[in-house]
Amino acid sequence: MLVFDGLDEMDLMGPFEVWSHAAKRTELELALVGLDGPVEVTGLNGLQFKAPEGLGTPDALFVPGGGWLNRAERGSWAEARRGVMTARIAELAPQLRFISSVCTGSMLLAEAGLVKGQAVTTNRNAWADLEAFGADLKKNRVVDDGDLVTAGGITAGIDLALHVVEREFSAEVADGIAATIEYTRDRDLYVSPKVATGN
């Protein structure tokens, strides 16, 4: 889970909660990481926390959003303008099993050159921005295009995380986690035909 100053806290914490439970029930290994190493982060709403290690070479990657819609000085818009994070994501992408994002985290994937022709979604207020990169925009809460799994705004990250658990492990595990955190799943899900057919 890649973190940076200005991220939307809920983009991160919803999936973190789900995957923390999954890590106790499966072989999933979960880590908060900074781009260049351990980092102290201040979120969009002021929450401060630490990521204890750097990005390295993960098996899969999660990218939150925040700060895109208002073109904030910290957050996904600022990281896209800086270009270092998007270049690293682009470099890593071919080696990853999949990349997931919530809200305007998908705009960092777009800036990394990963969404053209791909079925993806983002915060509804950034749909036009995403389409400008040649994405096959889907207006579902969660969109699974195989190597990219994206979600709409903010709380949609919980449904994305539960979908990833179901996809990678089982519906039983995902539903068990949803029950544990007292969350009613929203199954507004688009799964690409290439995923459904295994191509």
Q: Do 33 and 50 form a contact (C-beta atoms < 8 A)?
A: no
* 16 included as an active-site residue: no
Residue 2 in 3-state DSSP? Answer: strand
| b/e 76-89 (16+ beta carbons within 10 angstroms → b) | bbbbbeeeebbebb
Coil vs helix vs strand at 34: strand
The residue annotated as part of the active site, out of 12, 39, 61, 103, is 103
Q: What angle do CA 173, 52, 60 make, to 5 degrees?
A: 45
Q: Active-site residues: which are they?
A: 103
